[in-house]
Amino acid sequence: MTTTAGARAGSGAGKRGKAAEVAGNRLGHVIKRAEQALIARKTAALREFDLTVPQYATLLLLASADGMSAAQLARDSMVTPQTMSTVLANLEAKGLIAREHSQMHQKLLVNRVTEAGRSLVTDADAAALRVENKLAAEFTAAERKQLREMLERAIAVLSA
């Protein structure tokens, strides 16, 4: 029985190895791994500010374009409306944003960054930029330009 269990464990490991090999040869898999590595580094960098990556992205957007709706923020942050609702509720509870009715549409809530939020996102952005700069430093200027162009092409073909 031990031999059979060992054989099964070995064949399972072989299957996982083969699956990893197949996945590793897929461009989408490599792109996803890169995204996850970047998000993990940003998550670690933003931890000292008690911010998640979506919270940071939302504050950054509001600091540059105050008065956005939840729907606009969700689209620009690339999260679902439900996720954005949670993000905004958490930011409001921390006193980093204020939500108020739009002057143009009474039923529409707009979001504004508070002074505390503006101060925090300035510091958090510096930490996030250190992560991005460390990544950028691994490539020459020409390679960064080429990588950006190739990723934009990928986005365009997948969005068509």
Give the predicted TM-score (pTM) of the model: 0.80
Residue 97: what pLDDT? Answer: 97
- In this prediction, residue 101 carries a pLDDT of 74
Burial grade of 110 (CB within 10 A; 0-12, 13-18, 19 or more)? buried
Looking at the domain 2-159, which fold is it? Arc Repressor Mutant, subunit A (1.10.10)
Domain boundaries, the chain: 2-159
Tens-level pLDDT at each residue, the chain (160 residues): 444 444 444 555 566 677 667 676 799 999 999 999 999 999 999 999 999 999 999 999 999 998 899 999 999 999 999 999 999 999 999 999 998 876 666 667 889 999 999 999 999 999 999 999 999 999 999 999 999 999 999 999 999 9
Q: What pLDDT, on the 0 to 100 scale, is given for residue 66?
A: 80
Per-residue pLDDT, 108? 76
Neighbour tally for 46: CB within 10 Å: 19
Contact between residue 109 and residue 69 where contact means Cβ atoms under 8 Å apart: yes
Half-sphere exposure of 1 (CA within 13 A, CB side): 0
